[in-house]
Amino acid sequence: MITSALLKNKLTPIKIKYTHKLFVLCLLASILNGYFWVFLNELYFHYAAKPRIQDAGKGVEFIFAIILAPCGETFLCNFFPNLVLRAFTTRFYILLIVPSILFAFNHTYNPLYVVYTFFGGIILNYFYLKSREVEQSTIPALIWTCLLHVSFNFFVFLTS
């Protein structure tokens, strides 16, 4: 006979961790951020689309844009700046905004794209800071943020 306690434990749904929920919310926020700035560009600014690595082929573009660039940018624009800034401050908004500015100026295709990537950087860096806080470790936060960046770039790659 199955006791109610055993039945309750067997049928209790697996709780999704805070980091997983935040990952999905930040991915959705990144996608909405992208659509918003594309809409503004098409409506008012008419800047050319971001340059692509066209001569190299889709395979090389995929490897660079989906794997190498997001992982490198996550290290250089989230992990490293936060590591340095934490030596001077623990203020959340400074830790959030300074790396986002670095991320934006790493994407200088046109002025609107800089603004767009600043807000994208805010989303990525917010996720990094919160997942670092929840996981209480830097490496899992770095890996999660890299996966978020890769996921967003993959979405853009598939839809463009």
- Within-domain flag for 5: no
| 7 within a domain of the structure (yes/no) | no
Domain housing 92: 18-45+66-159
| 115 in a structural domain | yes
Count of domains observed in the chain: 1
DSSP-assigned states of every residue in the chain:
---HHHHHHHHSPPPPPHHHHHHHHHHHHHHHHHHHHHHHIIIII-PPPPP--TTT-HHHHHIIIIIIHHHHHHIIIIIHHHHHHTTT---HHHHHHHHHHHHHTT--SSHHHHHHHHHHHHHHHHHHHHHHHHHTSHHHHHHHHHHHHHHHHHHHHHH-
**Residue 52 covered by a domain:** no
Residue 32 included in any domain: yes
Residue 27 falls inside a structural domain: yes
Whether 92 is covered by a domain: the verdict is yes
pLDDT in tens, the chain (160 residues): 444 544 455 544 444 688 899 999 999 999 999 999 999 999 999 998 776 666 677 888 889 989 999 999 999 999 999 999 999 999 999 999 999 999 999 999 999 999 999 999 999 999 999 999 988 889 999 999 999 999 999 999 899 8
Residue 8 lies in a domain: no
The pTM score is 0.88
